[in-house]
């Protein structure tokens, strides 16, 4: 993975200036009225994710240094920023920290990791991703603000996506 040593992590949503938005994950819940994804967005979502991106996302739990974690998160954010896949609500995946945690979420800005136990409820928009995260064939699940949920295999192939009505 190519992560430069000099990168600075931006507060809140690093994509806000690019999108002209100032949002929090709660404001961008799947309940917000969104236009359906464009044909270009749908095509981009069908492309294989890079091996480096999949390794970075699945390796989050292994990061012990907060500085390295921030660098990885920014690198992941930058990759999604240029992907043309649409606006992410966040990423959801199986958690490898062990008991009591079963899954975790990266928020809209891909800067906050929240770990969940089986008894915890997850934020709006992530409910449909939770059972997918338990499928050991998926590396992680992309959750978009338009209601789309795309599971991603460990080899980077996207699985069959789900588009929930708004």
The runs of H, that is alpha helices, within the chain are: 16-19, 39-45, 51-58, 66-81, 129-133
CA-to-CA distance for 5 and 73, rounded, in angstroms?
A: 13
Give domain status of residue 44, yes or no.
yes
Number of domains in the chain: 1
CA-to-CA distance for 7 and 142, rounded, in angstroms?
A: 24
Residue 61 and residue 68 in contact, taking contact as beta carbons nearer than 8 Å? no
Query: With 60 as the cut, is the pLDDT of residue 25 above it?
Result: no
Of the pLDDT bands very low, low, confident and very high (cuts 50, 70, 90), residue 128 is very high
CA-to-CA distance for 133 and 33, rounded, in angstroms?
A: 26
Give domain status of residue 116, yes or no.
yes
CA-to-CA distance for 155 and 36, rounded, in angstroms?
A: 27
Domain containing 156 equals 35-163
What integer pLDDT is reported at residue 151 of this predicted model?
96
Query: With 70 as the cut, is the pLDDT of residue 122 above it?
Result: yes
Give domain status of residue 56, yes or no.
yes
What integer pLDDT is reported at residue 110 of this predicted model?
67
């Amino acid at each position: 993975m190519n992560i430069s040593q000099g990168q600075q992590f931006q507060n809140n949503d690093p994509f806000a200036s690019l999108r002209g938005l100032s949002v929090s994950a709660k404001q961008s819940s799947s309940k917000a009225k969104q236009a359906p994804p464009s044909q270009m967005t749908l095509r981009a979502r069908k492309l294989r994710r890079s091996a480096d991106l999949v390794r970075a996302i699945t390796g989050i739990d292994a990061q012990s240094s907060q500085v390295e974690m921030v660098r990885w998160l920014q690198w992941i954010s930058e990759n999604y920023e240029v992907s043309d896949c649409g606006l992410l609500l966040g990423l959801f995946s199986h958690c490898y920290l062990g008991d009591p945690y079963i899954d975790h979420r990266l928020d809209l800005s891909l800067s906050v990791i929240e770990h969940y136990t089986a008894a915890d409820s997850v934020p709006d928009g992530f409910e449909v991703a939770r059972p997918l995260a338990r499928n050991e064939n998926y590396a992680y699940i992309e959750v978009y603000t338009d209601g789309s949920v795309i599971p991603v295999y460990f080899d980077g192939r996207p699985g069959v996506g789900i588009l929930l009505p708004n």
